[in-house]
A and B are shown apart, each in its own frame.
Chain A
Amino acid sequence: MRIPGGVIAVAAGVLASGAAYLTVLLPGSTPAWPSWGVAGGICLLLYGLLDLGARQEGRTPPHARWIFAGVSAWVALGFAGILAHTPADLDTPLVGGLPLPAAWMIYLLGVGPALLLPLAWIFLFRSTTLPEDALERLEEARRRVEAAAGGGESDARPARSPSPGRHDGTEG
C-alpha cells in the first residue's frame, strides 16, 4: 500500500521533534538548534495531519494541499521570526502597541492561521470537504450493509461485523 504524503510529513515531524528532545535530554549544555527542530516538527505535524484529514476517496485535493502548505509555512515564518529576534528594548519599534518581536508573535502567529484555516474550510466545504450527496451515499451504504447482514427494517442498524461502538453491546 502506498504511504500517503501526510503520513510521511507526520513521520518527519516526529523525527525532527524527537531528535530535538533527545538532544535536550543528553548531558551537557543544550545547543540552539533543538528549538528550531521542535518548531520545524510542529509545522510538519500540522501539515501532515491536515493533509491526511482532508483526504477524500484516497487522495488529498491539490488546492487543499497548497493551503495547508501555505498555513504551515506561515506558522514556520512566525516561529523563525521570534526565534531569530534580538531582545526588545526601548529602541524597539512598537507595532500595534507591542514591541516588534511580540507583535510578530501575536499578530502573525495568532491572527493569521486563525483566519486562514477557517476561511479555507468555508470556501472548500462544498467542493472538497462535505459534498452535497455525502449523507445520501452514506445512507445507501448503510442500507447495503444492513441488507447483506439480513437486516429487515430499513431503520435498523447494520448487523454484520458488529462494532464495539454499538448501544446493543455486541462485539466485533
Chain B
Amino acid sequence: MIPLLRAVQASELPSAASPLVIVVGAVYFAVVIAIAVWAGRRTRTTEDFFLAGKGIGLFALTMAAMASTFSGFTFIGGPGLLYAMGLGAIFFVLPASVTNGFTVWVVAKRLRLLTEVRPVFSIPGVIGLRYGSRAAQGWAGAAVLAGIVGYMATNVLALGLVLDALFGVGLGWGIWIGTGVVFLYSASGGIIAGIYTDVFQGTLMAFASVLVFFYALDSGGGLASISTTILVADPEFMSPWGYFTPIAALSLYLLFSIGVVGQPHVMHKFFMIRDPHRLKWYPLLVTIAMAFVILLMFGVGLAYKALVVTGQAPAPNPTDNTAPLFLLRHTPRLLAAIVFSGIAAAMMSTVDAFLNVGAAAITHDIPTALGRPVTDELAAGRVATVVLAVISGVVAQTSGTLVALLGIAGYGLLASALVPALAVGLNWPGATRAAAVASIVTGLATSVLLGLLTWGASPLLTIPEGVAASALTLILSLAVFLVVSSLTRGGTFAELDEDVRLALEI
C-alpha cells in the first residue's frame, strides 16, 4: 500500500508563481476555454456529447487516449515515487509497453464495431448489450461511479495544489478554479471539448517531456554518469525492483497491464473514431506518445536522485516535490511554466474524461438498469456533469484521507469489476450473463472491502510483501468469472442478434 499511497498528490508544492509562469498559465487556460466554447457549439446531440459524434480522427484519438491515461501522477507523483522507491517505481509505467497493443487486440475492434450496429456510448452499455442484461449494465454503471468519484476527487485535490503553486491562490480557490474550468468545458462541450483540449494539452506535454528529459540527463552528465553516481551511494536504488519486493512490483505490472481494459475513461475513446480502419496505426502512435511522457518521470526521478547524492540539490520533502524542484532549479523558466501548466492540464483531462463516463452512468446505464430511462439524455448529461464536478470538488476539499482512499482504490476497483466481463466476455462465446454479474459484484465488493481493511497507518489487515490489494481482487474476479461461466447458461453469443454476434466474431 505504501507505494500506492505515494501516488496520491496530497502535499503542498513549492511555489512557482512568477510573472512568466502566470502569463503562460493564463494563456493555457484561455486556449482551453476557447476550445470549450467552440466545442459547445458543435455539441447538439447525445452522440455528440458522449461520443464526439463518432467523428474523431486518428491523431485526436491518440492524444486523447494518452492524456486521459496519464493523470498528474506521471508528472508529480511519478518522479517523486522514483526518487523515493528507486527504479522499481518504473513498474507503474512499464506496462505501457504492452497496454496499447494489448487493448487493440483484446477490445478496441469489438467496441468500435458494436457502435456500427447499436447506438452504445458507454462501457456499461456494451456489457448490457453483450450479455442482454440490465443487471450487468446497472452493476457495471455502479462500479464505474464508485471507481471514478474518488479518482476524480483525488485529481481535483492535486489540481488545486498545482494551481496554488502556479498562481498562489490558495488550495481552496485552486480546487474551485480547476473544477470550474473543467466543468465549463465538460458540461458545455461534452467529450468533444475533452478530446480537443486533450489534443492541445497532450501534444504540448509530449514535446515538453522530451525537452525536460534532456535537461535531466544534462544536469547529471548523461545517463551513465547518473547511474554510476547513484550506484556508488545506493546500489539498491538502481536494481530493477528498487525498494519494492519483486512480487509487489510484479503485482503493479499485473494491475496496470491487464487492468487497463477496465478503465472506462480510456476504453470509451474507441467508440469515437470516425473510421475503424484507422485503428491500424493507433497502438504504434499512442505508444510513442506515451514513451515521450514517461521519459519525464524516468529522467527527472533518476537525475534528481544523483543531484541530491552529490549535494547539488536539496532532498525533496515531501518526495512529491521532486519534479517541481527540478523544473524550478534546472530548466529554463519558460519550459517550467509550460510543464506546470501542462501538469494542471493533465489532471483536468483525466477529470474531464471521468466526468463524461460518470455522466453516462448516471443518465443512461443506471436508469436503464432500473427500468426508468431518461428522455432527454443530452440535457441530463450536462446536469450530471455539473453534479459530479461539484461532488468531486466538495469531496476533495472536505474529506481528508477518505479522498486518497477512494483514489487509490479507484483504478483497482474498475479493473477488478470490468476486466473479466470485457476482456474475456467480449471474446469468448461461452461467457455467461451470471458470470458477468458475479464478477462485477465480486470486483466491486472486494475492492471496497480490502480498501477499507488495508487503509491507514494502523490498518486492520496488512498484505505481506507489499502486494497491492487490487491485484488480488483482479485475480479473484477473473476466477469467479471463469467458474460461474462454466456452471451457468444464458447470455452466450448464441442468444445474441445476428448483427451483434457478428460484431463480436468478425
Chain A residues engaging chain B, CB cutoff 8 angstroms: 1, 3-4, 6-7, 10-11, 14, 17-18, 20-21, 24-25, 30, 34-35, 38-39, 41-42, 45-46, 49-50, 52-58, 71, 75, 79, 82-83, 85, 87-90, 92, 94, 96-99, 101-102, 104-106, 109-122, 125, 129-131, 134-135, 137-139, 141-142, 144-145, 157-158, 160-161, 163-172
- How many Å lie between the Cα of A94 and that of B229 in the bound state? 12
- B85 contacts chain A at the CB level, 8 A cutoff: no
Contact in complex: A164, B277 (CB < 8 Å)? no
Q: Provide the residues of chain B in CB contact with A17, threshold 8 Å.
A: 254, 471, 475
Contact in complex: A96, B223 (CB < 8 Å)? yes
- How many Å lie between the Cα of A71 and that of B287 in the bound state? 16
- B284 contacts chain A at the CB level, 8 A cutoff: yes
| Segment of B193-201, B351-359, B367-375 engaged in the interface with chain A | B367-375
- Answer whether A55 and B505 are a contact pair too, CB < 8 Å, given A21-B472, A24-B465: yes
Contact in complex: A138, B506 (CB < 8 Å)? yes
- How many Å lie between the Cα of A134 and that of B222 in the bound state? 50
- Answer whether A14 and B482 are a contact pair too, CB < 8 Å, given A52-B428, A117-B98: yes
- B15 contacts chain A at the CB level, 8 A cutoff: no
Residues of B104-132 at the interface with A, using a CB-CB cut-off of 8 Å, are 104-107, 109-110, 113-114, 116-122, 125-126, 128-129, 132
Q: How far is the CB of B105 from chain A (nearest CB, A)?
A: 4
- How many Å lie between the Cα of A154 and that of B105 in the bound state? 32
Q: Provide the residues of chain A in CB contact with B500, threshold 8 Å.
A: 163
Q: Provide the residues of chain B in CB contact with A34, threshold 8 Å.
A: 247, 465
Contact in complex: A142, B482 (CB < 8 Å)? no
Contact in complex: A49, B102 (CB < 8 Å)? yes
Beyond A96-B223, A164-B134: 13 further Cβ-contacts under 8 Å? A6-B428, A21-B467, A34-B247, A49-B258, A82-B241, A97-B227, A121-B284, A145-B499, A158-B499, A164-B368, A167-B119, A167-B121, A169-B374
Contact in complex: A35, B107 (CB < 8 Å)? no
Contact in complex: B253, A92 (CB < 8 Å)? no
Query: Which residue of A105, A114, A167, A169 is within 8 Å of B287 (Cβ)?
Result: A114
Top 5 closest pairs, chain A to chain B, by CB: A117-B101, A169-B373, A97-B223, A164-B128, A53-B106
Contact in complex: A52, B231 (CB < 8 Å)? no
Chain B residue, CB-CB nearest to A48: B424
- B423 contacts chain A at the CB level, 8 A cutoff: yes
Query: Which residue of B224, B283, B467, B505 is within 8 Å of A94 (Cβ)?
Result: B224
Q: Provide the residues of chain B in CB contact with A129, threshold 8 Å.
A: 109, 280
Contact in complex: A130, B279 (CB < 8 Å)? yes
- How many Å lie between the Cα of A79 and that of B97 in the bound state? 14
Q: Provide the residues of chain B in CB contact with A21, threshold 8 Å.
A: 467, 471-472, 475
Residues of B132-172 at the interface with A, using a CB-CB cut-off of 8 Å, are 132-134, 137
Contact in complex: B119, A166 (CB < 8 Å)? yes
Contact in complex: A10, B478 (CB < 8 Å)? yes
Q: Provide the residues of chain B in CB contact with A90, threshold 8 Å.
A: 228, 231-232, 235
Chain A residue, CB-CB nearest to B254: A42
Q: Provide the residues of chain B in CB contact with A82, threshold 8 Å.
A: 240-241, 246
Q: Provide the residues of chain A in CB contact with B506, threshold 8 Å.
A: 56-57, 130-131, 134, 137-138
- How many Å lie between the Cα of A54 and that of B90 in the bound state? 29
Q: Provide the residues of chain B in CB contact with A134, threshold 8 Å.
A: 113, 276, 506
Q: How far is the CB of A158 from chain B (nearest CB, A)?
A: 6
Q: Provide the residues of chain B in CB contact with A11, threshold 8 Å.
A: 482
Q: Provide the residues of chain B in CB contact with A75, threshold 8 Å.
A: 98
Contact in complex: B104, A138 (CB < 8 Å)? no
Residues of B293-331 at the interface with A, using a CB-CB cut-off of 8 Å, are none
- B484 contacts chain A at the CB level, 8 A cutoff: no
Contact in complex: B281, A122 (CB < 8 Å)? yes
Contact in complex: B96, A114 (CB < 8 Å)? yes
Chain A residue, CB-CB nearest to B242: A102
- B390 contacts chain A at the CB level, 8 A cutoff: no
Query: Which residue of B119, B223, B280 is within 8 Å of A98 (Cβ)?
Result: B223
Contact in complex: A130, B97 (CB < 8 Å)? no
Contact in complex: B430, A3 (CB < 8 Å)? yes
- B453 contacts chain A at the CB level, 8 A cutoff: no
- How many Å lie between the Cα of A92 and that of B250 in the bound state? 23
Contact in complex: A144, B498 (CB < 8 Å)? yes
Contact in complex: A118, B116 (CB < 8 Å)? no
Contact in complex: A165, B283 (CB < 8 Å)? no
Q: Provide the residues of chain B in CB contact with A30, threshold 8 Å.
A: 247, 464-465
- Answer whether A138 and B280 are a contact pair too, CB < 8 Å, given A42-B250, A49-B258, A171-B368: no
- Answer whether A165 and B240 are a contact pair too, CB < 8 Å, given A49-B258, A122-B281, A171-B368: no
Contact in complex: A94, B428 (CB < 8 Å)? no
- B11 contacts chain A at the CB level, 8 A cutoff: no
Chain A residue, CB-CB nearest to B110: A53
Contact in complex: B224, A41 (CB < 8 Å)? no
Contact in complex: A35, B250 (CB < 8 Å)? yes
- How many Å lie between the Cα of A169 and that of B370 in the bound state? 11
Q: Provide the residues of chain B in CB contact with A85, threshold 8 Å.
A: 239-240
